[in-house]
Amino acid sequence: MSQVDLASILSLLSVLDTTLLIELTATTLYLYDYILTFSQEVGCVWNRKFTGASLLFIINRYVVLANRLVRLIQLVSWSGWKEGQADYRLILAGLCRGLES
């Protein structure tokens, strides 16, 4: 395996780590915003007459919240972590075999 291949694989691993960290950061910011604005939501949506706009707001807010929570569980779950570690081990094993030949 040439140095270019090794560099591109290491670059890919770096991108994967960066992507994971960005996704965790985005989820954290979303949850923070959700907590900060919940009292306003109660006052403006839940304590008023139910309208089509209320329905759209609720769907938008809670579908995204559910998506972020499911994704967060996937990212930090033990099985997901082990699978990610296994992927790194496979890539590094391939690199080692390529460097030996």
Give pLDDT tens digits for 61-89: 999 999 988 888 877 775 555 555 556 55
What predicted TM-score, i.e. pTM, was given to this entire model?
0.62
Domain hosting residue 53, numbered range: 3-100
- What is the count of structural domains for the chain? 1
**66-100 CB burial, b ≥16 within 10 A, e <16:** eebeeebeeeeeeeeeeeeeeeeeeeeeebeeeee
